[in-house]
Structure 1
Amino acid sequence: MKIRALSVTELNKYIKRTLDIDPILSSLTVIGEVSNYKLHSSGHTYFTLKDEDSKINCVLFSRDASHNTLNLENGQSVKVKGYISVYPRDGKYQLYVKEIESNGIGTLYEKFEFLKNELKKRGYFDSSLKKEIPEFPKKIAVITSPTGSAIRDIINVIKRRTKRSDILVIPVRVQGKESSVEIVNAIKTANSLSDIDLIILARGGGSIEELWSFNEENVAVEIFKSSIPVISGVGHETDFTIADLVSDLRAPTPSAAAELAVKNEIMLIDELHSLYLSIKNQIKRNLYSKRSEIKYYSKEQLLKNVSEKINIASLEIDSYYDKVKLINTFKLNDYRNTLNSAIALMNALNPLELLGKGYVITEKNNLLINSVKMLKNKDTICIKYIDGIANCEVRKIEEGENYGK
């Protein structure tokens, strides 16, 4: 039987009817890991369900989402119930989800968390070990796919912002089994070159499995070992990889990585020019101000000012002199009082003063006699009075009270 030619719409509708009546595809349960999760403004939820080898696009309509309380997120392992059908406009089959429940943590998410924790323990994310990004790199090595949009965006941004930085593209595959090895070798190549100042590691957005090369341990180790600073620009703003955490600086996109790598030369020139004009105008204002001051101070005015300053200084000197004189007078009086007190004390203790009160000084052989025990009969002693001396001979010695008590 010969079948007439079908239009594309007729073909897609036929495939849809065929799938819709299949007893298995019309009601099935599938287990997989969530990626590319997106909640549309309409309330519909779109995501990819995948395992290690395959993936299928899924949609959860808002009317069914209201009956499901599970909060979906990328990396989550889920069990979904629904049916397979074709959206005729696009000719793509997908899984229409009716019910969804958690099935634990996804395999890739589990691997990601495990490696992240291990590398954190080793200090791979330590901010104190991050290398400083050079302000004006002369040559930048860009490690990315040579055919993706990331390399075009990076080159365009760098060339637009500066003419002083050369770009070396080291092409690698950014997804697939061998891609992580190529990325590692590219980082080694960049470090072997003596003229590379900075490395940009980049690729466009994608699902967690598409970005998985940047979650491999060998890539993380090579980034950490690199003696050249590394900026990572992997995926979109919401994507985070192990490479982002290990790199010296993380950019949300490849274009942002290029912006962080080089300064905007035009803006710098404009800023320098503005600064130059500001300094120039300030110098002009200062010169004008000083010229005005010079004109104001004529010869007569200068002499007057000098004379005033001399007069003020003379008054100050007189004031200081009076203060010093007053201070010296006070000090001299203090010294005089102190001296008089000392003289009075010395006079009070002077033995000659005691003689005037009827006391005498007794000596024998020029030695002061202060006890009768120092004398014996017929000793010649010298008795000193206030107005003369008497030489006497001891006739009798009598010991008695101690009059000095």
Structure 2
Amino acid sequence: MTSSSYLTVKALTKYIKRKFDADPHLRDVYVKGELSNVKMHSSGHIYFTLKDDGARINATMFRNQAAKLAFKPEEGMQVFIRGDVNVYEASGVYQLYAQTMEPDGIGGLFVAFNQLKERLQKEGLFNPNFKQPIPQFPKTVAVLTATTGAAIRDIVTTINRRFPQADILIYPTLVQGAGAAQNIADNIYLANRHAFCDVLIVGRGGGSIEDLWAFNEEIVARAIFESRIPIISAVGHETDTTIADYVADLRAPTPTAAAELAVPNRQELYQRVLAKKTQLHQMVVGQLNFERSRLTKLQQSYPLATPDRLYRPFIEKLVTIDTRLANGAQLYLMKHRNGLEKLSASLKIHSPQASIQFSKRQLDAITQGLTRAAYTHVDQQKQAFAGMIRTLEALNPLSIMSKGFSVTYLDKKVVKSVEELSDKDKVKIQFHDGVAEAKILSTNKKGE
């Protein structure tokens, strides 16, 4: 055979590819198997191998299809794939081009939910230490939900019934469909920037996992975690659980329950106040009765019933002592009258009053002397100061210049000699009352 009878590799590969393209059984194929060698390319494409116990096939999922996956394909995961089988000409191998992919046994959304939950839990977003307390008596409650539907009506009705003192601020929010997760996160950040409310209810009514999926998005979870305002999640019914429930500061089983957790019950508060009032009244009455009983017992006791019997002996003793002291003092005065009179005279001479008068006279004398010395010193200083003023005035150049003298400057320098000047020099002449400018016409040196 001649060389022209041989096919090129490219031609053979193209022929095989046309066979694959023409075979309807290789289009829209449903295949199940185990993922292996999964590579998430930076371009967004996913490259992997699909295998079972008997064989394996290379597979590719392009970026447009991969972006629609709700979960992340992982090594060893059993999956269902729908796609086309064709030949990759560059390498000459056939491979599976996946259009859709679902986990085997459980839904893709459930896998995505568990994957995100595990990752955020490792990061600490569910840690109870980061949970903020819900204020007991909020002034303003903000609600992030759709303005249509039963959820907003249930929340508003419950708050107005339980605690009408609280203001309600509504942030209209998409809670389902494309862009819902971003809108929920944006409104959480907006509420924090406004800082008008004390607590924030984020949620919606019930629905399928697809309907509630916006509350399972990572962007919503991080917005809730970063919120400085305490958040109560109220997504779906009691059996529904979302990522938002794990991150929120408090989880409510329903929107109505969220409203009940956000505000106190006015009637319950009133009943508690009445109970405390009754309890306080009973305590006061009981204490008064106890003290009144004690007072009655004290009043009926022996000392208070007949007090004169207690202090009568002491009065008699005091009268006896008083009489004895009076008699003793009279006898002492009679015996020592002369000595007491001399002592009184001596005390008058050396009494504290006499010493104070003497010291006062000395102080007055010293004060007068200091005053005179101060006036003399001031006069001397005034005279010395006047002499210094007269000397300064005599040495003042302006005073000398007033007698007809002047000072000549050339280029801001004092001219001390005619030799420093030349014809046509411009000079300034300082008089005692001003300055004049002049021009040198000629100079005559001494001796000329």
TM-score by structure 1 length? Answer: 0.49
Ranked by relative contact order (alpha carbons within 8 Å, sequence separation 6 or more), the top structure is 1
* Structure with greater helix share of residues: 2
Larger radius of gyration: 2
TM-score by structure 2 length? Answer: 0.45
